[in-house]
Amino acid sequence: MTRVLVVEDDPQLVRALVLSLRARRYGVDPAPDGVTALRLAAARRPDVVGMGHRFGT
């Protein structure tokens, strides 16, 4: 199964992406921030990383 790491801080967008990707049989790991994304990337070894282009501090 292809794993996708979704790095996004907007909960509504994350929910939509997760539902859409899982419906297409992708494994999805959502991360709300960079620190969590790095931890998940090391542990889960995603095939693809999708990131928001703006993050708050």
With H, G, I as helix, E, B as strand and everything else as coil, classify residue 32: coil
Separation of alpha carbons 44 and 41, rounded Å: 5
Query: What pTM does this model have?
Result: 0.88
Q: Is residue 57 part of a domain?
A: no
Q: Is residue 15 part of a domain?
A: yes
Which H/E stretch holds residue 30? strand 27-31
What the block records as the tokens of 26 is 């992708």
Largest Cα–Cα separation, the chain: 33
Q: Is residue 35 part of a domain?
A: yes
Q: C-alpha angle 30/48/39, rounded to 5°?
A: 50
**Range of 41's domain?**
3-51
Q: What is the pLDDT along the chain (57 residues), one digit of tens a residue?
A: 999 999 999 999 999 999 999 999 999 999 999 999 999 999 999 999 999 876 555
Q: Is residue 12 part of a domain?
A: yes
Q: Is residue 56 part of a domain?
A: no
Tell me the CATH number at 39.
Answer: 3.40.50.2300
Domain count, the chain: 1
**Predicted pLDDT of residue 2:** 97
Q: Is residue 34 part of a domain?
A: yes
